Each structure stands twice: as C-alpha cells, then as structure tokens.
C-alpha cells in the first residue's frame, strides 16, 4: 500500500515555523520568569558583599602582644612578675642571624624560596586531607 504524499505548501511551512517561534518565545519567557528569584538573590548577595567590604578598615591593626607585668618596690627592686604569657618583644635586629635562620629552617626550610606561599605544601596538605577523609 502506497501512502499518498502530501504536498508541503508554503502555508503549512509558515504555520510550522510560527509554532516553533511561539513555543520558543513561551519557553524563553518561562525560563526568564524562573530565573528572576536567582537574579534577585544574586543582587542582594552582591549588595551585602559590597557593604561588608566597604565596612572593613583600610589598615589592619594588630593588637599588642601580651607581655609580663613587673611590680617594682619604691627603691626599684622587683617585687613580683605577673604574666599570662612570659613574653618580651624585641626588634628583629637584636636577634642573631643564626637564630633567625634556625627558626626558619625548623618552621619551613623552603621559606626563602616561596616567600610564604608554598603551593607544593598546599597541594601536599590537600592530598593528605583528602586521603585521610
């Protein structure tokens, strides 16, 4: 049985194209309406981030380190030393170079190579964290 071929007319083609355009426009409007809450949330998030960033101080102030307190008698002799942390701040110049090198080598032997940001160390730590769960 041979089925008769329908002839495709210009009117039928324009009706199909019109239907495709109408469905595309409707789908675009629906997707746009669904994205409005996300766009609004993104705007609120951006506004809050800018507000938080602008409220940061221009310079970060480090509080003074806790040091020991020395109570002196009227003649200048030490009566007592009170401390939570027994610390005395000294300038870096007064620390011997060998002591500075020893501290750096104990803490991070490659510090002078990467100046504080050790990407190899970061990758190593991430791999260690990932493998340990």
Cα radius of gyration (the chain): 36
Name the more confident of 21 and 114.
21
pLDDT digits (tens, 9 = 90+) for 49-74: 999 999 888 888 888 877 888 899 99
pTM beyond 0.75: the answer is no
CA distance 122 to 116: 11
What lies within 8 Å, CB to CB, of 67 at 6+ separation is: 83, 85, 87, 88, 89
Residue 115 has what pLDDT? 76
Residue 74 has what pLDDT? 93
Ramachandran class of 76: left when φ > 0, alpha when ψ lies in -120 to 50, beta otherwise: left
Q: pLDDT-derived band of residue 6, with 50, 70 and 90 as boundaries?
A: low
């Amino acid at each position: 049985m041979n089925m008769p071929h329908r002839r495709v007319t210009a009117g039928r083609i324009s009706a199909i194209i019109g239907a495709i355009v109408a469905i595309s426009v409707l789908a675009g409007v629906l997707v746009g309406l669904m994205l409005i809450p996300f766009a609004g949330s993104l705007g609120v998030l951006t506004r809050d981030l800018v507000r938080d960033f602008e409220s940061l101080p221009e310079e970060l102030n480090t509080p003074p380190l806790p040091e020991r307190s020395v109570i002196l008698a009227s003649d200048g002799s030490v009566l007592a030393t009170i401390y939570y942390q027994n610390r005395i701040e000294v300038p870096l110049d007064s620390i011997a170079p060998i002591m500075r090198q020893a501290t750096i080598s104990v803490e991070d032997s490659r510090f002078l190579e990467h100046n504080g940001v050790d990407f190899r160390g970061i990758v190593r730590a991430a791999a260690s964290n990932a493998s340990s769960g």
